Every structure is written in C-alpha cells, then in structure tokens.
Chain A
Amino acid sequence: MGMTVAEKILAAKSGVDRVLPGDIVQASIDVALTHEGLGPMFFPEFERFGRPIWDKDKVVITIDHFVPAADIKQAINSKLTVEFVKRHDIKQFYPYNGPSHQMIAEHGLARPGEILVGTDSHTCTAGAFGTFATGIGSTEMVAVFLEGKLWFKVPQSIKFVVTGELRFGVMAKDVVLEMLRMIGSDGANYKAIEYTGSAIENLSVDGRMVLSNMAIELGAKVGIVPPDDKTIQYVKARNDKPFTVYTADPDAVYEAIYEIDATRLEPMVAVPHNPANGVPISGIADDVRIDQAFIGSCTGGRLEDLRAAARVLKGRVAHSDVRLLVIPASREVYRKAMDEGLIEIFFNAGAIIEYPNCGPCCGLHQGILAPDEVCVTASNRNFPGRMGSPQARLYLASPATVAASAVEGRIADPRKYL
C-alpha cells in the first residue's frame, strides 16, 4: 500500500519509513512562522524558559495585520514584535510588506517536501508548493521554538480531481467555492487534501495558492498541490536551498476522491454566512445591492487577481453607491501592478487603493462594515462579524466577480466585461 504526499512528508520528517493515518508522529519543523497579531502573546512565555530558539534561521516573522497601527494597542503589538526580532537576531523578518503567506511564497520559503507551521490558520497557503503547511496556536509555537518538533496525528487524505479546462471568466476562487459547496465547511476536517487533475496542472502558481489558502475553510490540516515544473521553477528562482519533491504513490489510499469537471463551472458566489454557501452566479438574484467591494487579502490580492479585476474595470467606474477597495497582496505585487498600469486603472475606476496588509478581511481596519451593509469580497471568510458588524452581510467571490459587482452596484457576472 502506497503513501499520499502528506504521508510521505510526515514519514520523512519523523524519521520513519512509512506512516498510516491515525499514527502519532513527532516531526521536525522546517519553517516556523508568526506575526505581530498572534506572536506577542507567546513571546514572553517562550522567553521564560531562558533558552535560545532551536534554530532562529528557520523562524519567519512578519508585521502584516496592524499595518500601519490604527491605535495604541496595535502599535504595542508591533513594537513588541520588533523587539523580539532584535533580541533573537531573526534574519527572516518581513515587516510591512504584505500578508505573511505571500511573504513565505515570495521568499521561496514554501518548499516542496517540508513542514511549515504558523500561528495563522491560512498558513496552509504554502501547500500550493507541495509543503505540509498548517496553522497552529500561539502556545504550541512555544514548543516549536524550544524543540523544533511538533506532534501530528497523521491525517486521512482526500483528493480532488479537477478535470477539463476552466472556461473564460472562471477563476481558481470559483473552483474552491465549488469544492466548499460540495463537501461543506467541515468536509475535510482533520484531513489532508491533494488537488490534482488537468485543470489544477493548468493553474498558475497564483491560482494554486487560492486553493491551498482556503483548505482551512474546508477544515483541512493541509491542502497540497503536488509539485511540478511550475512549482520547482518558482521556488528555485527565489531560494537556493535544496528540497525534495514527493508525489503520491499510484496505490496511495484516499478516504474519498471528489471529481469536478472544470468545464461545467461558472463563477461562484458564497452567500452569507458560510464559505460553503456557494451558488453559481446564474442562481444569484439580480438585485443583491452592495455597499462595498473588496479585492485583496492573502486569498484575492495577487497579480493574477489584480489583472482579472483590471480587465473588468478598465475604462469603467465603480457605482456611486459602492466603496471599491483594492489591496495588493505584497509590495512585489504592488510594484508589478504599477508597472503593468493596473493601479492606474483602479485609480480611474474610483478605487480606494490601500497598502499591502491583511486589512478589512479580518475586520481590523481599512474597510469595516456597518450593520446591514453588504460587501462582496475576494477574501476567504464570510462568517458573521468577519469584516465588522455581525449584522453585515458578506458574499465571497472571485476578484473578477467583485470588480463587475463594483461597476453595477449589485452582484454581477464578470463574463460580460472580460
């Protein structure tokens, strides 16, 4: 009986030949990520032990949530983070450059065959590069900083096979909303996902990151795209540290295999208040008025996302009732978007263009919603209160759909604008 990608990584990193679902393993950690939002609560707990970080060059710290600080309490979190970085001489410190998951990718720190843990649930984004990447709690990171190891229960693996070709105007975000619709927001709870099939192979690195990013919305421990030439080229161009590529054995065992025919998919919208409430855009009422449209976050702010939104918005202006927010996923993305003229298109469309950070996605600042307001967003969660008032209504969609909706002032199909 063969092993899945997740099983092979856990076996290799815990020094055994093979593992089975349900085994408990002690695995060594290759990258440990934290940020100013959830790091400062464990820094003093770690330092009370009076021991050095097990390997400070495996630690990555970002400042990406409170950017720039909106109040004194946020500022204190960031200040404590900078002080910790200096005290421990952490070199991989990426403050004020964009969400951590984008930093991990851009610095080539999401490597095939490695284990990455982070005090942020969207750490699973790195699965797009064949990394066993998962979110953990802050206290658990104390154990990682001390020992460089963590226990895992080997998850059951499930597989999505996405065949065919995505049609014009259908993006990776629509694929993941369809996955959520199919199996629900706990459909992969405790499990490892593998994304396979021709439509996945044809996705860009940006698109694959959308799938892995929202693996947590399915409850998954990890969401892995098996590495191919695209992955290897991307990582090698950014980091020269060697890595091992694992692919699943032909006789690997999956608890479930879900097939999706990409050719059948149309743009999807997840209606309030759960990411699994996906509906094809043709099934959405034509009068869902919106107050805010958000293109950004670690889910929907990469270059491919901005290009799609700009194609819709070129020569058009957002509806007068709509606040259109655009936040590039990193400084690198921001720079490229400027070079390609995308930022000018957003500016001319009347967008509020904000600096790379987590922003309103998690209800911190820069676009908070009032009670009864409606927002269509390219981000990842639409639970009550996620972007401000628990009485606000959030619709998840692709960046193209968000842009089209901004133009019409109501949820709209992007295909007529592309």
Chain B
Amino acid sequence: MEKGRVIKGRVWKFGDNIDTDQIYPTKFCVVSYTKEEVASHAMEASDHPNFAREAKPGDIIVGGRNFGCGSSREYAPVSLKYVGVGAVIAESFARIFYRNAFNIGLLVIEAKGISNINEGDEIEIDMELGEIRDLTTGSRYPAAAVPAGPREVFEKGGLIPYLEARYL
C-alpha cells in the first residue's frame, strides 16, 4: 500500500459469512450492464438492500468472518469498487474474494476484532502504521499485513495494469 496513505470513511456493518450472492446476485452477472447498473445492485441481497442507493464514495464496509465466501464472481468486488467503497475490512476473507479484490484494485484488509465497530462510525485506516482507528469511539485495531504478491498487484492499480506494464 502507499506509504502514509490514510483512508477515512463511514462504516457500513455486515455480519459473518456474507457470500457473493448477497453482494452481487448471479442474475446481474451480464456483461452488457453499465458501471452504474453494476453498482446499483451491490449488496442487494444482503440485510442492507439500500446500500447501493445510500452509500457515499469513500464509505467503508466492515464485515465479520469469511467475508465474500461462495461464488468466484468478480462482479462482487467490482460492484463495491463501482459504488466507490474506500475499503473492505473484515475479521477474515474467503480466499477467492480476497484475491479478486486486489486483482481489480479494491483495498481489502483483515483486522481481528473489527466486528466490534458500530454501523455509522467514522473510521480511519492508517496504512503506514497498519492501524485502524474508530474516530467515533476511540478504539484501535491492528490491520494484518497484506501479502507481497497481492500488494504488488494492488500498487499497480490491479492485475490488468500490472500485466500491461509487462506486455504493452
């Protein structure tokens, strides 16, 4: 991640095992949708069906365990990126979602204890210190380090720009 980068945003809180069908239902996995259409269905089948309408660019998703389990569909992280989500933080991530997120340039961070944060809190992610600060309550959570492979891809803006640098 970029040194010294601080991301600040308002929390949308989700529970454990938020699967990719809740994040982005299969029926919307069609290539002829515009970016706006893809964004408009983000989190549609979750317990926050109003997410896509009400989320503001920079808002932060906080999940529990096993966030993004289920299907390999890249539309799930892509729809969150198109909404403008600043980052997704969770206790843990399902492996395909985690890898997809870096490949499409969406920041995802593992942080133990993060599900103690409340919906609507203002939080700050300090990438240099590897720390998440809840500005509403004052509590702090250590962010797990991002593995070298995904980090390198993310720093190039995703896998396509990374491959472009090599081939084009």
- A and B pair up: yes
* Inter-chain CB contacts under 8 Å: number: 129
Q: How far is A65 from B26 in the complex, measured between Cα atoms in Å?
A: 10
Instruction: Give the segment of A104-112, A311-319, A325-333, A377-385 that binds chain B.
Output: A377-385
Which of A378-396 touch B at CB < 8 Å?
381, 383-386, 390
Chain A residue numbers with a CB within 8 Å of B73 are: 38
Q: How far is A24 from B148 in the complex, measured between Cα atoms in Å?
A: 10
B21 touches A139 (CB 8 A): no
Q: How far is A308 from B77 in the complex, measured between Cα atoms in Å?
A: 39
B160 touches A142 (CB 8 A): yes
Known A-B contacts A121-B70, A190-B95; the reply to A38 vs B29 at CB < 8 A is yes
A363 touches B26 (CB 8 A): yes
B29 touches A37 (CB 8 A): yes
One of A73, A190, A216, A219 near B30 (C-beta < 8 A): A73
One of B33, B45, B100 near A385 (C-beta < 8 A): B45
B149 touches A151 (CB 8 A): yes
Q: Output the least CB separation between A68 and chain B (Å).
A: 15
Q: How far is A173 from B123 in the complex, measured between Cα atoms in Å?
A: 43
B159 touches A77 (CB 8 A): no
Q: Output the least CB separation between B150 and chain A (Å).
A: 10
Chain A residue numbers with a CB within 8 Å of B69 are: 185-186, 219
B79 at the interface (CB under 8 A from A): no
A143 touches B163 (CB 8 A): yes
B147 touches A153 (CB 8 A): yes
Q: Mark B122-141, 1 if CB is under 8 A from A, else 0.
A: 00000000000000000000
A38 touches B72 (CB 8 A): yes
Count of residues in A whose CB is under 8 Å from the partner chain: 48
Q: How far is A364 from B21 in the complex, measured between Cα atoms in Å?
A: 11
Q: How far is A100 from B8 in the complex, measured between Cα atoms in Å?
A: 43
Which of A121-151 touch B at CB < 8 Å?
121, 123, 135-140, 142-143, 146, 151
Q: Output the least CB separation between B99 and chain A (Å).
A: 7
Chain A residue numbers with a CB within 8 Å of B94 are: 186, 189, 219
B9 at the interface (CB under 8 A from A): no
Closest to A389 in B: B45
Majority secondary structure of chain A interface residues (helix, strand, loop or mixed): loop
Closest to A363 in B: B26
Chain B residue numbers with a CB within 8 Å of A203 are: none
A119 at the interface (CB under 8 A from B): yes
One of A24, A73, A80, A136 near B99 (C-beta < 8 A): A136
B74 touches A385 (CB 8 A): no
A247 at the interface (CB under 8 A from B): no
Among A77, A80, A185, chain B packs the most CB atoms within 10 A around the CB of A185
Which of B113-168 touch A at CB < 8 Å?
147-149, 158-160, 163-164, 167-168
Q: Output the least CB separation between B98 and chain A (Å).
A: 9
One of A136, A146, A190 near B72 (C-beta < 8 A): A136
B40 at the interface (CB under 8 A from A): no
A137 touches B45 (CB 8 A): no
A88 at the interface (CB under 8 A from B): no
Which of B57-74 touch A at CB < 8 Å?
65-66, 69-74
Which of A202-230 touch B at CB < 8 Å?
216, 219, 221
Q: Output the least CB separation between B102 and chain A (Å).
A: 10
One of A38, A74, A381 near B74 (C-beta < 8 A): A38
Q: Mark A46-80, 1 if CB is under 8 A from B, else 0.
A: 00110100000000000001000000011011001
Chain A residue numbers with a CB within 8 Å of B21 are: 362-363, 381, 383-386
Closest to B103 in A: A139
Chain A residue numbers with a CB within 8 Å of B71 are: 120-121, 362
B86 at the interface (CB under 8 A from A): no
B72 touches A119 (CB 8 A): yes
Q: Output the least CB separation between A394 and chain B (Å).
A: 11
Q: A146-B163, A190-B95, A383-B22 are in contact. List 8 more A-B contacts (CB 8 A).
A: A24-B149, A49-B167, A73-B30, A74-B30, A143-B163, A216-B70, A385-B45, A390-B45
The 30 sampled A-B contact pairs (Cβ below 8 Å) are A37-B26, A38-B73, A49-B164, A73-B30, A73-B33, A76-B32, A77-B30, A80-B31, A121-B70, A123-B72, A136-B96, A136-B99, A139-B74, A140-B159, A143-B163, A146-B167, A153-B147, A185-B66, A186-B65, A186-B69, A189-B92, A216-B70, A219-B95, A221-B95, A274-B17, A363-B25, A363-B26, A386-B21, A390-B22, A390-B45
